[in-house]
Structure 1
Amino acid sequence: MKDLLNKNITFSYNEALEMIVSMGMVACEGQLLALAEEFKIELDPLASSFHDETHERLSPHTLRELQFFFQYHFIHKGLDYAFYESICSSTEGLSAEEWITILAQSPADKVVAQMVYGVYWDQMEDLLQGQEWDAIKMDLRILSELVHDTKPQQELIQAHEPLLECLAHPEETKLRYMQLIRLFYNDAFVHWRERFKEESECASVIYQAQFHANPERFIRDLNKVEPAVYDIPTNFHISFISQVGNHHLSFNTGTSWNAWVIFGIHNDRVFGPAADREKTELFLKAFSDKRRLDFLLLLQERPHYGQEIATKLGITPAAVNYHSNFLFFLNLLEMKREDHRMYYHLNMDKLRELLALTSSVMLGEEY
């Protein structure tokens, strides 16, 4: 496994990816601040400065356009999925200027079709009604009819009308998103690009050393997946602006599969060792929501994949991702690929450890 990980995983800064992540972070700032408070994570002062300065630099019109394309849900990619696809299909990191040139040359119909996929990726059977995606993905008329008849998941419901608007006016949509991206680059990102790269590359040196020292432990402890997932070439982009998280994006380049991981620069603060009291507080908070307790009890029976959990708990797949984050932060979950699906596994030893730790903290006994 060590040889496989060393062969397939590389660390590569992708400026275009950092820029598109920063656009989403600004648009979803309210969601992110609420989540940070819930997880007891303090936003890096430098990141806060970027957010404040960006709001000052961008015009009200540009901020509204940013909301139009990015605001819906930062975990569940929506209209912005098309932009991620255009970046991550490349096996090499792109500068922001290179990516903007590539996107400008991409047909509007193709980008708008990818917006549809982004909104409906977790309910494609409902959307397609028996048709094949590859057969209709470039027919915006058919896609418009299907989207009109199919409501997105609840967290993406506000993207429904904007998506129909994009489908009805693809060329105008392209003019809008190209103008938005160029304005964001010139008015906001260009002032921070070197600092973001410096911060990310400094952290990358540290994370690469940890990875090469023990690849399997790094993937399990800080990346929160089963190492066997990395059976395809994967680039780890250490992202300053995303702060914390592991977001996996894989795309078929036409001849092979390629993947990128957006790896938060402060993952070691959240997924690494934490003080006993902080662990206890987060453990108790994790189960203050009945759905997270139901999640854990469900996995006691056997491992489940995301759609199974969503169906059994009566929640959306994106909600599964949201609630699983609490359990990931506590190392209670592991992800393993089986039969081409990613399954959630409950770490029973860690659960016993946290229960014992919580008991010792609450009762004032030595752990």
Structure 2
Amino acid sequence: MGIALDEEATAMLEGMIGRLSRHVKREMHLLFGQSTLYDRLDAGLYHVFFGSEETASTRDWLDRYSSWNALDLVYMLLEAVYESAGIDWLEGHAASAVRTDAQLLPLLAAAHPLPDAELHAELLDCARYPEEFKQRTVLLLDSFWTHAFLPERERLAAIGAEGARKYEALFAEEPENAFARVARIDPMLVTKRTRVHVSYISQVCMFFNAAEWNEDACSWMSLGYFNDALERRQADKDMTEKFLKVIADKRRLDLLELLKSRNHYAGELAQLMALTPAAINYHTNLLIDLGLIRITKADGRIYYELDAEKLSSLMDQAKRTLLN
């Protein structure tokens, strides 16, 4: 996407990692993996979070997870992993039956090996010992909350509040643009009350959850703190494309070359370039639209004047877009 983590976020993440034990990091690697998809424990965490409007803080979220049925937590983990792998592991059984059957769940998992044999063996242990799995994950989440999250909580809250104010103003002033280029969703999807989370860690993020399994639950939208920067980058790309198309014509380059030395009126340009007045008008309009030239009046005539600063700015912008 062309957007790198800023220095504060990089330092924050490095600090979080440095405060975690090797055991916790190994457990996180196993249960969360390296993917940005919700394909392991994170899928269950999201389900727990979105399932209640009473979740007002991270601690509420973890307490809600701690009170969840252990077998159901294991089922959500397995379902996410098998769905990500593209494996139909339920063999026609209803999900509602599998997630409550402590004998059937491990049997189905054992019957459907994963390409990653080590991961499959770990998942089988989780399926066979659901209470132990729950204790492991509660310990893992509590350790991350205490050592990694709490030291950054106040700063994250402040940054999130800044982002909330920024997006609140943007959605109020330009709702169509905000939905299309910042949230990247169709506003018609928002059919009920929606809570918005502004993420600083996921600095570019467009996520919408309609909570379709529960008509009474509100929807959730997650936006990255720098989504608007991505929108600006797209606008820069659009402008660069337009600029390069305009200056790709030799006649317009010749026109800019003539205006570099001094201002000219239309008749002069037509004569010097051997073009009709209509053709001059066509080419100058394209350059005016980009702000590369402007119209001035002198001696009762209309002159065209080169905006050298604008040309330099667009050249720099093209360089940034193509090379950065």
Which residue number in structure 2 is paired with residue 115 of structure 1?
77
Shift of 1:58: 0.8
Amino acid at match of 1:147: A
Q: Find the counterpart in structure 1 of residue 309 from structure 2.
A: none
Provide Cα deviations, 1:218-247, integer angstroms capped at 9, x if missing partner. 111111111111123321100111111112
Do the aligned residues in 2 keep the contact of 1:112 with 1:166 (CA within 8 Å)? yes
Change over 3 Å in CA distance of 1:119–1:361 after alignment to 2: farther
Number of the residue aligned with 1:172: 132
2:43: which partner in 1? 81
Which residue does 1:261 correspond to in 2? 221
Match of 1:239 in 2: 199
Aligned length: 253
Partner of 2:30: 68
For the 8 Å contact 1:244–1:264, the answer to whether it is kept is yes
Matched, 1:224 2:184: yes
Q: Which has the larger radius of gyration?
A: 2
Counterpart CA distance in 2 for 1:271 and 1:238 is 16
Retained in 2: the 8 A contact 1:221–1:272? no
200-209 vs 242-251, greater mean Cα deviation:
242-251
Distance 1:125 1:68 in 2: 19
Distance in 1 between residues matched to 2:79 and 2:67, nearest whole Å: 20
How far residue 258 of structure 1 moved from its aligned partner, in angstroms, is 3.2
- For the 8 Å contact 2:209–2:219, the answer to whether it is kept is yes
Counterparts in 2 of 1:226 and 1:239: CA distance versus 1, 3 Å: same
CA distance in 2, matches of 1:124, 1:232: 32
Distance 2:71 2:173 in 1: 46
CA distance in 1, matches of 2:151, 2:132: 28
% identical equivalent positions: 26
* CA distance in 1: counterparts of 2:182 and 2:231, whole angstroms: 6
Give the deviation of 1:358 after TM superposition: 5.9
| Alignment-derived partner of residue 109 in structure 2 | 147
Q: 1:212 to 1:162 in 2, by over 3 A?
A: farther
Q: Is 1:270–2:230 an aligned residue pair?
A: yes
Q: Is the 8 A contact 2:50 2:211 kept in 1?
A: yes
Going from structure 1 to structure 2, the CA distance change for 1:358 and 1:73 (only over 3 Å counts) comes to farther
SS in 1 for 2:196: strand
The match for 1:203 among 138, 159, 163 is: 163
- The alignment's TM-score, normalised by the length of structure 2, stands at 0.68
Distance in 2 of aligned mates of 1:159 and 1:251: 29
Q: Is the 8 A contact 1:222 1:272 kept in 2?
A: no
Contact 2:52/2:217 (CA < 8 Å) preserved in 1? no
Residues 345-360 of structure 1 mapped to structure 2, 5 A cutoff = 359=245
Unaligned runs of 5+ in 2: 254-286, 291-324
Task: Please point out which of 42, 45, 52 is paired with 2:7.
Answer: 45
**TM-score, normalised relative to structure 1:** 0.61
CA distance in 2 between partners of 1:232 and 1:157 (Å): 43
Cα separation, partners in 2 of 1:261 and 1:141, compared to 1, 3 Å: farther
Distance 1:136 1:354, change over 3 A: farther
Contact 2:55 2:61 in 1 (8 A): no
Q: Which has the higher contact order (CA 8 A, sep 6+)?
A: 1
Which amino acid counterpart does residue 189 of structure 2 have in structure 1? V
Q: CA 1:69/1:218 → structure 2, altered by over 3 Å: closer, same or farther?
A: same
Contact 1:144 1:168 in 2 (8 A): yes
1:273-292 matches, within 5 Å, as 273-274=233-234, 276=236, 279=237
Counterpart amino acid of residue 165 in structure 1: D
Write the letter of the residue equivalent to 2:162: C
CA-to-aligned-CA distance 1:290-348 (integer Å, 9 cap, x gap): xxxxxxxxxxxxxxxxxxxxxxxxxxxxxxxxxxxxxxxxxxxxxxxxxxxxxxxxxxx
Aligned CA distance change for structure 1 residues 160 and 270 (closer, same or farther; 3 Å): farther
Do the aligned residues in 1 keep the contact of 2:19 with 2:147 (CA within 8 Å)? yes
- 1:89 maps to amino acid: G
247-256 vs 216-225, which moves further: 247-256
Secondary structure of the equivalent of 2:103? helix
Q: Does structure 2 retain, via aligned residues, the 8 Å contact 1:242–1:264?
A: yes
**Residue 285 (structure 1) aligns with:** none
1:87 is displaced (CA, Å) by 1.3
Match of 1:137 in 2: 99
Name the Cα RMSD after superposition: 3.0
